[in-house]
Amino acid sequence: MALLPCPTVSNDLKNIDTGVHSKAKSRVTIKGTVLEEIGNKVTTRAAQVAKKAQNSKVPFQPTKTANDNEQLKPTASVKPVQMEMLASKGPSPTPEDISMKEENLCQAFYDALLCKIEDIDNEDWENPQLCSDYVKDIYRYLRQQEVLQSINPHFLDGRDINGRMCAILVDWLVPMCVAIMDQFLQVQPVSRKKLQLVGITAVLLASKYKEMFSPNIEDFVYITDNAYTSSQIREMETLILKELKFELGRPLPLHFLRRASKAREVDVEQHTLAKYLIELTLIDYDIVHYHPSKVAAAASCLSQKVLGQGKWNLKQQYYTGYTENEVLEVMQHMAKNVVKVNENLIKFIAIKNKYASNRLLKISTIPQLNSKTIKELASPLMGRS
């Protein structure tokens, strides 16, 4: 069951009372006690509980005092046995939409506190590039953006171009170019003659967005063998930016994969294999609609499974937001892509050749990619591909 990102447990304990709504406190008496005994006066808790005692299902006995000025004694802390009982209930259900309700956020916070999820950013405070103070806010924002800028399934149905044509183009494009191209093609019908123009313009936009020094526009004219003029590329650039409303910050699977790899503390081989699995999805039109975070989680889980690095654990579920069952369908598509490439069932081998280089550990040639695990995962989809 998925766990969405929530406030850091270790860093936010001092301000825990301000981040939890009072509704959550009255709902479960035991959990409220755990939170409110951290840095709070008992008089505050007594006033709150007495005010809501009539509506609470759990009976409450108010503390008796000798006089009004006498300070109350602190309530007893929850026993470890009770915490284990609460933790054994498992993570709370998470809604499909990333903007979950406040009570669900509180429940996820309780789960993290009681299950003692390790804070993987705790030791990064000395490195300003890792942004440990607000890295969780960054990933929460990325999860929101992937929903707002999502791609619909089969968005090319009824158009002049199809998934196979896009796969030919995508075979030599980089991930961000593909993201720009998919977003544009979803909202703007394009003829076959202009598909390559869209692709080359997406490369131009991606280079301007990502690189310090982007290539000259005449270079793009040259690599298309003068199929398009510089004026046509500029016109298409203007059209794409207008249709996308200049929103080029769509999250990519690689952004989320870094987080997943950090949560597991994977080695370079496993991380590179996950990147290879992600890039193979670029030529698979059937999974273009999956959110980047889900694709990244599936790649991380499958690479771990293929290399025999253990099971998908609670810590990985917490930081990726997905259980193994939730990414199973994506893993099946990834395994299908591996089988197709290895058995030469498709012509698009640029990505495989790229990852066959020494620089990328020849990861596309490892024997584990021909293992029984891969073939069993791919088998349900091979018949209908």
7-30: pLDDT as tens digits: 444 444 344 344 434 434 334 333
Position 108 scores a pLDDT of: 59
CA distance 226 to 31: 68
Position 249 scores a pLDDT of: 86
CATH architecture of 253-382: Orthogonal Bundle (1.10)
Predicted confidence band of residue 170 (pLDDT cuts 50, 70, 90): low
Helices 328-342 + 292-306 axis angle, to 10: 60
- By CB atoms closer than 10 A (0-12, 13-18, 19+), residue 222 is exposed
Predicted confidence band of residue 42 (pLDDT cuts 50, 70, 90): very low
Q: Which fold has domain 163-243?
A: Cyclin A; domain 1 (1.10.472)
293 neighbors 142 (Cβ within 8 angstroms): yes
Domain layout of the chain by residue ranges: 1-148, 163-243, 253-382
Two domains, one topology: 163-243 and 253-382: yes
Mean pLDDT of 318-343: 96
C-beta atoms surrounding 334 within 10 Å: 29
Mean pLDDT of 164-169: 68
pTM for this entry: 0.64
171-199: pLDDT as tens digits: 656 777 888 998 999 999 899 899 999 99
CA distance 178 to 169: 9
Q: What is the DSSP string of 289-341?
A: TS-HHHHHHHHHHHHHHHTT-----HHHHHHHS--TGGGHHHHHHHHHHHHHH
DSSP 68: T
pLDDT at 101 over 60: no
